[in-house]
Amino acid sequence: MRQIINSMRALLSILAIVSCLSLSGQQYLTRQGILTFDAGSPLEDIRATSNSATAVYDAADGKLGVQVLMTSFEFRRALMQEHFNENYVESEVYPKAVFKGVYKKDRAIGTLNIHGVSIEVDVPATLIKAGDTIRLNASFVVTIADFGVAIPRAVANKIDPQAKITVDCTMQVR
């Protein structure tokens, strides 16, 4: 009888350890993801990079999320960066851009929220596993007007109404 109890305990311990490891091992996270934004035109170079995007992925159910603080985008021109935050995306009111969805068959499907406007998106993406890390890559285009960001007519020919976004996030096991 005692032997049975002992072996039961051992079994439970192993089960518990396994479940613990497997569950925590399924999630990946980074807070140093790279996100770029390009709405330039032949007349004006409008590009920005953020090196502090947060990306999180759950391998068990395919849930995928990416978030970036708008003020973390760095432009080459200080004034352009100020205008981006102050006049276009209104970072003080809408500080974050967030994607929440799932990764399924080389696509990221979910909701993209920028400037307080949520839009359902379905864009190509890749997740490549290398050891303890998973690298997320995506490149897609958003229509600026869809997110309620107004472009004044005076500068309309300088800004591409279709902004190209690229995502490059190498996530670690959480």
> Which residues here bind another protein, judged by CB under 8 A?
9, 12-13, 16-17, 19-20, 23-24, 26-27, 29, 31, 54, 56, 58, 60-61, 63, 65, 67, 69, 71, 76-79, 81-83, 85-87, 90, 92-93, 95-96, 98, 100, 152, 154-155, 158
82 or 132, CB closer to another protein?
82
Joined tokens for residue 129: 């596993």
Nearest approach, Cβ of residue 96 and another protein (Å): 7
How many angstroms separate the first and last alpha carbons of the chain?
Answer: 41
Nearest approach, Cβ of residue 116 and another protein (Å): 14
Q: Which residues sit opposite 133 in a β-bridge? A: 130, 172
Nearest approach, Cβ of residue 101 and another protein (Å): 10
Neighbours of 76 (CB within 10 A): 11
Nearest approach, Cβ of residue 56 and another protein (Å): 5
93 or 130, CB closer to another protein?
93
Among the listed residues 88, 90, 64, 92, the one whose alpha carbon sits nearest the alpha carbon of residue 167: 64
9 or 141, CB closer to another protein?
9
Nearest approach, Cβ of residue 124 and another protein (Å): 22
90-98: long-range contacts at Cβ-Cβ below 8 A with a sequence spacing of 24 or more?
Answer: 90/115, 94/70, 95/69, 95/70, 95/71, 96/67, 96/68, 96/69, 96/70, 97/67, 97/68, 97/70, 98/65, 98/66, 98/67
Cβ-contact 63, 102 below 8 angstroms: yes
86 or 106, CB closer to another protein?
86
Q: Which residues sit opposite 163 in a β-bridge? A: 142
11 or 141, CB closer to another protein?
11
